[in-house]
Structure 1
Amino acid sequence: MKNVTLVIGASTNPNRYSNIAIKRLIDREVAVVALGLRKGKVFSVSIDDEKKEYKNIDTVTLYLNPKRQEEYYSYIIGLQPRRVIFNPGSENMEFVKLLKENNIEAEVACTLVLLSTNQY
């Protein structure tokens, strides 16, 4: 897989925005991997409950509040994605600064809006 999107904060609950984002990414034929609190599946995408050394991560889209993100700082930076999207409720200027220091683009936006307006 090339240009993979990693959804962090993924949920099997169809009412959660992370779940909807996974479905819309699949609809757009974007390669997706997912990380959440519990294992599960959203269509063809398995949700992992452990941090893995994913390859070819282009975009990380966050569905975690800023406090919960702290344990992921080093992990995400280590994946060296091109960008990290901070969805509504996940805005975190401390992490944005760290990403920029590591030459990773930080975007405060909504993945669902970006997809629906062809800006993803």
Structure 2
Amino acid sequence: MKTLVLGATTNKERYAYKAMQSLINKTHQVVAIGTKEGMALDVKIETTKFPFTGIDTVTLYLNPKNQEEYYDYIISLKPRRVLFNPGTENPKFYEILKQNNIEIEVACTLVLLATNQY
């Protein structure tokens, strides 16, 4: 299963980094987009809307305002679901995703992984 971490960072203290670490530890394939290029856990952080293929899950680490520029991009990836981590809740985007038959899940990626519910 391939996961896109949107809002990725090289900062080990951030939840996006910790989620990448946990996904990799659980043998999930991870791709990443952030505001700064870099490497995090051997994953290249892209800074553009890279045309990834085979994305199952997009896990968001962007506040609702910063999500807006990614609406069409995320839909174009045709993920099975989008995870809204704490602080990323966005009812407007939920509706857009539902209209495009993409599941939404309001949950913490780290908790889902830790409890084997991912």
TM-score (ref. length: structure 2): 0.99
Give the aligned partner of residue 9 of structure 1.
7
CA distance in 1, matches of 2:97, 2:36: 26
- Tell me by how many angstroms 1:43 deviates: 1.3
CA distance in 1, matches of 2:90, 2:52: 23
Aligned length: 118
DSSP-derived class of the 1:85 partner: strand
CA distance in 2, matches of 1:43, 1:101: 35
Offset from partner CA, 1:86-106 (integer Å, 9 cap, x none): 000000000011000000000
Runs of 4+ in 1 over 4 A off after TM superposition: none
CA distance in 1, matches of 2:27, 2:40: 14
% identity of equivalent residues: 59
**Structure 1, 40-49 or 80-89: larger mean CA deviation:** 40-49
- Unaligned runs of at least 5 residues, structure 1: none
RMSD: 0.5
Verify: 1:92 aligned to 2:90, yes or no.
yes
Give the aligned partner of residue 46 of structure 1.
44
CA distance in 2, matches of 1:85, 1:22: 14
TM-score (ref. length: structure 1): 0.97
DSSP-derived class of the 1:51 partner: coil
- Superposed, 1:66-81 pairs within 5 Å as 66-81=64-79
